């Protein structure tokens, strides 16, 4: 390859890299009632809450803390996609919007994902060392999610709504 072709190729690549920096994913988050979030409603013990905040909230809540490199395309696109996917599956900020049945399922899935070592993901812990769980933290978190699941299963079902009484003065 000639020097001229190589220089043009490098120039085109640089222009593309600079150009894609203007294509930014949205980081908008809706207003959230703090009283309907996971910590307010599930009231985890302080140790579990701290681990969940550190290891889970960046991808599974609206409290995402974006690192500096999350502003550099194409990494920003990957992170935005990852966070969006994580929130779709479980969003601790929206805990109050889930039905009891959904909460049971999410607590059970969370226990399984942590126990199997799937969460937090390695791609996340590689850059966020504080999110790496020790064996003791993993065991405690699994136990907490299982306890939460069991507590949710013990919530009595809502009684059926009474049928509307007929109007007397028709």
Residue 99: strand, helix, or coil: coil
Mean pLDDT along residues 138-156: 96
- Please write the tens of the pLDDT for every residue from 96-114: 999 999 999 999 999 999 9
For the chain, what are the domain ranges?
Answer: 33-153
Cβ atoms of 51 and 137 within 8 Å: the answer is yes
Q: Which residue do the tokens 């939460």 mark?
A: 148
Q: How confident is the model at residue 67 (pLDDT cuts 50, 70, 90)?
A: confident
**Is the confidence at residue 170, as pLDDT, over 60?**
no
- Name the pTM for this structure: 0.80
Q: How confident is the model at residue 167 (pLDDT cuts 50, 70, 90)?
A: low
165 vs 132, higher pLDDT: 132
Mean pLDDT along residues 137-142: 97
pLDDT score, position 123: 87
The set of long-range contacts for 82-90, using a CB threshold of 8 Å and a minimum separation of 24, is 82/123, 83/58, 83/59, 86/59, 86/60, 87/59, 87/60, 87/61, 87/62, 89/60, 90/60
HSE at residue 6, side-chain half, CA atoms within 13 A, is 3
3-class SS letters over 113-143: HHHCCCCCCHHHHCCCHHHCCCHHHHHHHHH
Per this entry, what is the length of the chain?
170
DSSP classification of residue 29: -
Q: How confident is the model at residue 31 (pLDDT cuts 50, 70, 90)?
A: confident
- Please write the tens of the pLDDT for every residue from 40-63: 999 999 999 999 999 999 999 999
């Amino acid at each position: 390859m000639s020097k001229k072709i190589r220089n043009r190729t490098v120039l085109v690549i640089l222009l593309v890299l600079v150009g894609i920096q203007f294509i930014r994913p949205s980081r908008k988050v809706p207003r959230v009632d703090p009283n309907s979030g996971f910590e307010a409603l599930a009231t985890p013990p302080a140790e579990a809450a701290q681990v969940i905040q550190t290891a889970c909230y960046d991808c599974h809540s609206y409290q995402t803390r974006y690192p500096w490199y999350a502003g550099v395309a194409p990494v920003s696109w990957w992170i935005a996609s990852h966070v969006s996917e994580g929130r779709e599956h479980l969003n601790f900020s929206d805990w109050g919007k889930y039905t009891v049945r959904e909460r049971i399922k999410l607590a059970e899935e969370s226990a399984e994902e942590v126990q199997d070592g799937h969460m937090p993901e390695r791609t996340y812990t590689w850059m966020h060392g504080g999110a790496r769980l020790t064996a003791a933290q993993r065991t405690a978190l699994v136990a907490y999610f299982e306890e939460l699941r069991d507590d949710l299963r013990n919530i009595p079902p809502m009684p059926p709504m009474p049928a509307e009484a007929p109007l007397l003065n028709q």
